[in-house]
Amino acid sequence: MTDHDEVAVVGAGLAGCLLACFLARRGHRVTLYERRPDPRGGQAERGRSINLALSERGLDALRRIGLDKQVMADALPMRGRAIHPVSGPLDFQPYSSDGERAINSISRGALNNALLDAAESAAGVRVVFDHRLTGLDPRTGDMTFQTPAGEVSARAAVVLGADGAGSAVRGQLLAHAGLRESLDFLDYGYKEVTIPPRDGQFALDPGALHIWPRGTSMIIALPNPDRSFTCTLFWPTGGTGSFASLSSPTAIERHFRAHYPDLLDLAPGLVEDYQRNPVGLLGTVHCSPWQSGGRVALIGDAAHAIVPFYGQGANCAFEDVVELDRCLEETGGSWTAALPRYEERRRDNTEAIARMALANFVEMRDKVASPVFRLGKKVEHA
Ligand code: FAD
């Protein structure tokens, strides 16, 4: 295999598009296969997060392909957390002592579209929509895709699975190449509801990540460029106060009135949103190895999906891309040398962030409301 053989990237999400841009810079011919239709100009996929927090880790990757300024033009910097108690005043907790350090609220759709545009305009990259990978022979790079026109076959020298937490590429490595995996789901899910603008303005401070910590549950809200906020409810899936326990409009309203009273005023369509929007799963993917024979590898959530409480999944996926590019550079473009090196360099980091993300759930839903925490503990991020 040479540096310039055809590479297939499966999944035109955040990691896949960025990866295509980096590989194009190295002179590769890349085909980016995406199961969905072209998302540009369409609606965001329901059940996915509408916005996400981009930190310096992710920005560093965007800077390397000259996309940081475009993406940051619509970013909303959040310089701390605003804690909403059941009653009483808000408590603002800055992320840094000088109040200057921020994480950025970004539209997931806009970020994905910007990356897709960049990938599509890069020399040597071809993007193919409506292609869902259904089969892969890791020894030969033979792939099969389900498309609206029926089954399609293709072959590539290297296949990179950037197809998210439920990765089909990972499934094929599990079936044919001795990969082992464990999927650890939380007894919690997430649901999104919207706080619309009020009189054309943000209804809350857009310079903060808002948190309603309630011990075993929490809600967070991030600002959007259209002056709305997207609230994400992180609640248990079963038992008292769970998604399952609240079905009628009266029960939903009563629950919010008791636990999140300010939200009912801020979000007049809350009950309708609650009933209409799906509950997403939350889990951690562990698998090993991430690559097979120097020909097939996993990247981003496909290799190591994490729970979203540290706001680092996409940032981490971007770091994977930068590291893989670095390994290719160091090994003179040898995939067989670069892929194991990439896995070795990224594994400890991704396992650490997976643990930190789980720990941060307890911190966000419970400890941030404690007076001891407010007085004594320094916090870096969400
Ligand atoms: P994805 O974004 O999932 O992209 C995978 C792509 O592959 C998709 O386009 C999909 O359609 C495609 N695909 C799937 N299967 C196939 C197939 N068989 N064939 C072809 N294509 C396929 N991260 C942050 O950094 N900050 C945050 O604030 C943050 N908040 C989050 C909030 C929530 C509620 C959730 C659930 C996640 C959050 N994340 C956040 C995590 C972040 O969304 C993911 O880590 C990130 O999207 C991973 O990117 P990816 O490209 O690896 O996977």
pLDDT of residue 99: 81
- Nearest 5°: phi and psi at 171? -60, -40
Which residue range(s) make up the domain with 160?
7-41+50-75+105-182+285-360
- Give the number of other Cβ atoms within 10 Å of residue 54's Cβ: 25
Give domain status of residue 211, yes or no.
no
Give domain status of residue 345, yes or no.
yes
Q: Which mutation among 40, 52, 146 tests ligand 1's pocket best, with the greatest number of atoms within 8 A of CB?
A: 52
pLDDT of residue 378: 35
Task: Find the DSSP H helices in the chain.
Answer: 14-25, 56-64, 68-72, 108-121, 168-176, 249-259, 261-266, 270-276, 301-304, 313-330, 335-365, 371-376
CATH of the domain at 61: 3.50.50.60
- pTM across the whole model: 0.94
Give domain status of residue 270, yes or no.
no
Q: How many domains does the chain have?
A: 1
Q: Which mutation among 21, 32, 34, 160 tests ligand 1's pocket best, with the greatest number of atoms within 8 A of CB?
A: 34
Distance CA(356)–CA(289), nearest Å, equals 22
Give domain status of residue 129, yes or no.
yes
Is the backbone peptide bond immediately before 289 cis, with ω within 30 degrees of 0? yes
**Distance, CA 200 to ligand 1 centroid (Å)?**
31
pLDDT of residue 379: 33
Query: Who lines ligand 1 at CB under 6 A?
Result: 10-16, 33-36, 49, 52-53, 132-133, 162-164, 168, 190, 232, 280, 300-302, 308, 311-315, 317
Distance of alpha carbon 252 from its chain centroid, rounded? 28
pLDDT of residue 48: 63
Rounded (10°) angle between helices 313-330 and 335-365: 160
First-to-last C-alpha distance (Å) of the chain: 43
Give domain status of residue 91, yes or no.
no
- Nearest 5°: phi and psi at 120? -65, -30
Distance of alpha carbon 307 from its chain centroid, rounded? 9
**Distance, CA 122 to ligand 1 centroid (Å)?**
22
- Give the number of other Cβ atoms within 10 Å of residue 89's Cβ: 8
Q: DSSP secondary-structure letter at 308?
A: G
Give domain status of residue 166, yes or no.
yes
Minimum-distance ligand 1 atom for the alpha carbon of 58: 25
Per-residue pLDDT of the chain (382 residues; tens, 9 = 90+): 554 579 999 999 999 999 999 999 999 999 999 999 999 977 656 556 689 999 999 999 999 999 999 999 999 999 999 999 999 999 999 999 888 899 999 999 999 999 999 999 999 999 999 999 999 999 999 999 999 999 999 999 999 999 999 999 999 999 999 999 999 999 999 999 999 999 999 999 999 999 999 998 999 999 999 999 999 999 999 888 899 999 899 999 999 999 999 999 999 999 999 999 999 999 999 999 999 999 999 999 999 999 999 999 999 999 999 999 999 999 999 999 999 999 999 999 999 999 999 999 888 887 777 654 444 333 333 3
pLDDT of residue 43: 60
pLDDT of residue 355: 96
- Give the number of other Cβ atoms within 10 Å of residue 96's Cβ: 13
Give domain status of residue 190, yes or no.
no
Give domain status of residue 27, yes or no.
yes
